[in-house]
Structure 1
Amino acid sequence: MKRIAHLLLLALPLSACGMQPLYSSGTQGAVATTLGDVSVGAIEGRAGWLVKNALDDKLDALGNGSQRFRLQVVLDDKITGFGLLANDQVTRERRTLRARYQLVEIASGEIVLDATAASDAGVDIVSSEYATIAAENRALENLSLEIADQIVTRLSLFAREVSAAQ
């Protein structure tokens, strides 16, 4: 009985912290409804294909058929070598994926959100060229998922701000 009382006392301050669930009201809430109204434009390159698929997976699940917004994304994918040996051989790479994205209201053509997302990953250079290429590709897949998560999170915050202002 004492344990339950302690847990209730510990939970009491949490209710006053001012935090609110982002996806309150489930699929009928303002955030989910707005995310469901977003269509993703084509994105160039292999990284673009990966990011678009990840975004489609996250946004299409909430889709309701209408397309009020269009998301335009431009990616910058770079691999930089560092960790040089005495013979100038690179031993490590950093793969960086940056995205500049704009949320455009289709009806008016107005850009309602202009933001960026970025992530990077380290890749070890090993004696097997195949293993190095596989590691670079895996890093790109992981970075694409991370970028998509960052974009959806920012879109969710935007949707909550808009619904609070209305």
Structure 2
Amino acid sequence: MARIASIGALALVALALAGCGFTPLYGRPGVGAALSSVQVSAPTGRAGQLMREHLDDALSRDSNLKPQYRMDLQISEQRYPRGIRVDNVATRYEYVLTAAYTLVSTASGKTAKVGRVRVEVTYDSADQPYASVAAQQDAQDRAAGEAARKIELELATWLASAKS
């Protein structure tokens, strides 16, 4: 009986959403295709490489298509010691990744959108050097992935509002 009631409740929610004009972000025509036609040019360095890889994955970059947009990225990284021990050694660090992007139309060469995202992650600093380096690299990867997700959502929202 509880299963039938939950199915009925889901059906009512679906009807309510359909009646209010709700449209999924990726349900707008052209948003997915426009996202996959963004070519990312990232700065050199580990963080730039990670950002480009995560953005190519997030935007589902199709290398067979001619890009409609080029995204130029500027990345800044900062690391702050947190959790200071009595002997003045940090046990945790806060890693801050800021990515400023400019989306340029390849057809006209004009700037289409400018944005900036900021991601903060923390990681433990171990006494063993290799473990500390591995933790820092993991924090860079997590921050780049989160920044790419934020940029993807900003671009999808912008494209959906521009297409409507």
Question: TM-score when scaled to structure 2?
Answer: 0.86
- Is residue 23–residue 32 contact of structure 1 (8 Å, CA) maintained in 2? yes
Amino acid paired to 1:135: A
The alignment partner of 1:145 has SS state of helix
- Is residue 42–residue 74 contact of structure 2 (8 Å, CA) maintained in 1? no
Q: Is residue 66 from structure 1 mapped to residue 69 from structure 2 by the alignment?
A: no
| CA shift digits 1:27-53 (9 cap, x unpaired) | xx3101211221111322110001111
- Is residue 119–residue 143 contact of structure 1 (8 Å, CA) maintained in 2? yes
Q: Is residue 89 from structure 1 mapped to residue 89 from structure 2 by the alignment?
A: yes
Runs (5+) with no aligned partner, structure 1 = none
The offset of 1:107, in angstroms, is 2.5
Q: Is residue 112 from structure 1 mapped to residue 76 from structure 2 by the alignment?
A: no
- What's 1:39 paired with? 39
- What's 1:21 paired with? 24
The offset of 1:60, in angstroms, is 4.3
**Gap change, CA 1:11 and 1:161, over 3 Å in 2:** closer
Distance 1:61 1:55 in 2: 8
Percentage of pairs with the same residue: 30
Q: How many residues align?
A: 161
The range that moved more, 38-47 or 62-71, is: 62-71
Runs (5+) with no aligned partner, structure 2 = none
Amino acid paired to 1:34: A
Q: Is residue 80 from structure 1 mapped to residue 83 from structure 2 by the alignment?
A: no
**Gap change, CA 1:17 and 1:139, over 3 Å in 2:** farther
Distance 2:85 2:36 in 1: 50
**Aligned alpha-carbon RMSD (Å):** 2.1
**Gap change, CA 1:136 and 1:17, over 3 Å in 2:** farther
The range that moved more, 102-111 or 43-52, is: 102-111
- Is residue 93–residue 122 contact of structure 1 (8 Å, CA) maintained in 2? yes
- Is residue 72–residue 103 contact of structure 2 (8 Å, CA) maintained in 1? yes
Distance 1:95 1:59 in 2: 24
